[in-house]
Chain A
Amino acid sequence: MLLMVNDVDVAYGRAQVLHQISIAVDEGERVFMVGRNGAGKTTLLKTIAGFLAPSHGSIVFAGRPIAGLPAEEVARGGIRYVFQDKRVFTKLTVRENIEIAAHAAKIRLAEAIERVVEIYPKMTRFLDSPAGGLSGGQRQLLLLGRALLGQPRLLLIDEPTEGLSAGAIDEVFDVLEKSKGTVAMVIVEQNLSVVRQLADRVYAVKEGRVCSEYRDMAAIADPSVLEGVL
């Protein structure tokens, strides 16, 4: 297993939000987390990414315990976290957004731009525009491109298609689809059609606990199956 989250509790101050969560992700596997707003999906990703420390339990990535490590060290170990709400550096241009990720990944800017453009060819048009002016879909593609530059072994993505138009959802979908097998992913997603088409495995989260796990996508094709958690 590439990632093992074992029996993890997480609290904000005194309010415990995650209860005995355990999940596992294999090398190259694409795992989705579904659940209602407030269920604790973002909290779980932030905990894996090192932005929150669990009060109990362990997180092991590539054989190394990472619970409680600062986020930048977790990232350096090979994990990239793409935040919810499409947080690009709005005051910098698209090129500069890529430049910072390239610097972090220790690759040349020209090569980095080439790789982002390969993922999303239309990005060439916006290279010198402020990233703050991009549409939601373009921002998400920039974030995915930026994250992939670091050649992570695990990518954590929080609600990549939230608030996007149908066309933008397709573009994001294509990028996630194409990177199959090269990088493991844990994706929080509310759009069940995206989940059904891309997931290798699905965890349903309810009130801070993993309530079920689905390996068979045919099983969740029936809309009534996930109704109780969504």
Chain B
Amino acid sequence: MISVVAYGLTVGAILYIISIGLSLTFGTMRIVNFAHALIYTMGAYVLFTMLRVTGGNFVLAAIVGVAAAVPLAWAIERFVIRRLYGQSIDYAIIGTYAVLLIGVDATKWIWGATPLPLSDPIGKYVNVLGVDLPVYRLVVIALAVLIFAGLELFFRRTVVGKIVVAGLEDKDAVRSLGIRVDSYFSLVFILGSCLAALGGILYAPITTIHPYMGTHVLLLSFAVVLVGGLGSMRGTLVASFALGMVMAVTGRVWGPAAEAMVFAVMAVVLVLKPIEV
């Protein structure tokens, strides 16, 4: 029971870290960004390479992995997404999906298609109510909570954050005050991408690194964003942990149904509360 909860919380934490960027990108730019999955995958691969370069320093390798997302996200925003602003949402889907496909092939070309295993960077266990839990997973959960708190502070306390919140509600009204709101949105895009990379980095030691890891998780992440409400920061947190628990509990009963159940929940939520765009 404890291990099911711990697993659910870990998956929830990872889902949150990935999905918040996706949700904010949709909320601000009205763009469904498939390239988010590429950044997630790249984060894990850069981690893998940097672990070798640094002789196993996980924290340093993770920082480099997150930092590597900045130029990549900047380029995707500048050269793909910015050209699709105001166009039909289909173009954004096709454009960013193309980036994802190119990126996946580039990954295979650089690192090969064979899955790469990573060991638990902490390797210690802690006993919670008689069950041994990996400390690493608890760290991941704590990080997700810290990131949530940090984002809340950023969006509620800083003027830049408030401008983004205002822009989420009424972009043109922000522009009419003479604020170049697109550059703030780009900033949010890069921030969200860094979190996607962090998600890939944190999840890598729990599974394996492979070229399609992002594509796979992206679908779950879409489910989170739809259930949590597009552009809703708190909704994304709640939906991530709820769906993480759904996966953990279903997986315990019947493994193959774990992900299917996430989409079943998503379908039910969409039927009960259709999206207003």
- Chain B residues with CB under 8 Å of A96's CB are 162
Contact status A100-B175, CB under 8 Å: no
CA–CA, A26 and B49, complex, Å:
66
CA–CA, A80 and B173, complex, Å:
10
CA–CA, A225 and B181, complex, Å:
44
Interface size class of A (residues with CB under 8 A): 20 to 34
Instruction: Tell me the nearest residue of chain A to B162, going by C-beta.
Output: A96
Min Cβ gap A10→B in Å is 16
Contact status A81-B176, CB under 8 Å: yes
* A75 close to B (CB within 8 Å): yes
Which stretch, B114-122, B163-171, B262-270, touches the partner chain A? B163-171
Contact status B165-A72, CB under 8 Å: no
Contact status B177-A89, CB under 8 Å: no
Contact status A75-B169, CB under 8 Å: no
Task: Kindly supply a per-residue 1/0 record for chain A positions 73-96, scoring 1 wherever the CB is within 8 Å of any chain B CB and 0 otherwise.
Answer: 001100011110001011110001
CA–CA, A92 and B159, complex, Å:
11
Instruction: Tell me the nearest residue of chain B to A132, going by C-beta.
Output: B169
Contact status B169-A100, CB under 8 Å: no
Contact status B172-A101, CB under 8 Å: no
Contact status A72-B180, CB under 8 Å: yes
- Chain A residues with CB under 8 Å of B172's CB are 51, 71, 83
Contact status B175-A92, CB under 8 Å: no
* B179 close to A (CB within 8 Å): yes
Q: A89-B170, A90-B169 are in contact. Are A49 and B176 (CB under 8 A)?
A: yes
Interface hits, A89-130 → B, CB 8 Å: 89-92, 96-97, 99-101, 103-105
Instruction: Tell me the nearest residue of chain A to B166, going by C-beta.
Output: A89
CA–CA, A91 and B178, complex, Å:
20
Which of A71, A92, A96, A101 has the most chain B CB atoms inside 10 A of its CB?
A71
**Which residue in B162, B178, B180 is a CB contact (below 8 Å) of A92?**
B162
* A65 close to B (CB within 8 Å): no
Q: A89-B165, A90-B169, A92-B165 are in contact. Are A83 and B159 (CB under 8 A)?
A: no
- Chain A residues with CB under 8 Å of B170's CB are 87, 89
Instruction: Tell me the nearest residue of chain B to A80, going by C-beta.
Output: B176
- Chain B residues with CB under 8 Å of A75's CB are 175-178
- Chain B residues with CB under 8 Å of A181's CB are none
Instruction: Tell me the nearest residue of chain B to A77, going by C-beta.
Output: B178
Contact status A92-B166, CB under 8 Å: yes
Interface of B is mostly: helix
Min Cβ gap A62→B in Å is 15
Contact status A100-B162, CB under 8 Å: yes
Task: Kindly supply a per-residue 1/0 record for chain B positions 56-95, scoring 1 wherever the CB is within 8 Å of any chain A CB and 0 otherwise.
Answer: 0000000000000000000000000000000000000000
CA–CA, A57 and B176, complex, Å:
22
Instruction: Tell me the nearest residue of chain B to A97, going by C-beta.
Output: B166
**Which residue in A82, A91, A100 is a CB contact (below 8 Å) of B179?**
A100
* B174 close to A (CB within 8 Å): yes
CA–CA, A113 and B162, complex, Å:
17
- Chain A residues with CB under 8 Å of B176's CB are 49, 71-72, 75, 80-83
Contact status B177-A99, CB under 8 Å: no
CA–CA, A83 and B172, complex, Å:
9
* A70 close to B (CB within 8 Å): yes
Which of B159, B169, B174, B178 has the most chain A CB atoms inside 10 A of its CB?
B178
CA–CA, A71 and B178, complex, Å:
7
- A residues near B, CB below 8 A? 49, 51, 70-72, 75-76, 80-83, 87, 89-92, 96-97, 99-101, 103-105, 146-147, 150
Question: Which 5 residue pairs across A and B have the least CB separation, nearest first?
Answer: A75-B178, A89-B166, A104-B177, A76-B178, A71-B175
Q: Can you name 30 A-B residue pairings with CB atoms under 8 Å?
A: A51-B175, A71-B172, A71-B176, A72-B176, A72-B179, A72-B180, A72-B181, A75-B175, A75-B178, A76-B178, A81-B176, A82-B176, A83-B172, A87-B170, A87-B173, A89-B169, A89-B170, A89-B173, A90-B169, A91-B165, A91-B169, A92-B162, A92-B165, A92-B166, A96-B162, A99-B159, A100-B163, A100-B177, A103-B179, A105-B177
8 more A-B contacts (CB under 8 A) besides A89-B165, A100-B159, A101-B177? A72-B176, A72-B178, A75-B177, A80-B177, A83-B176, A100-B179, A105-B178, A150-B178
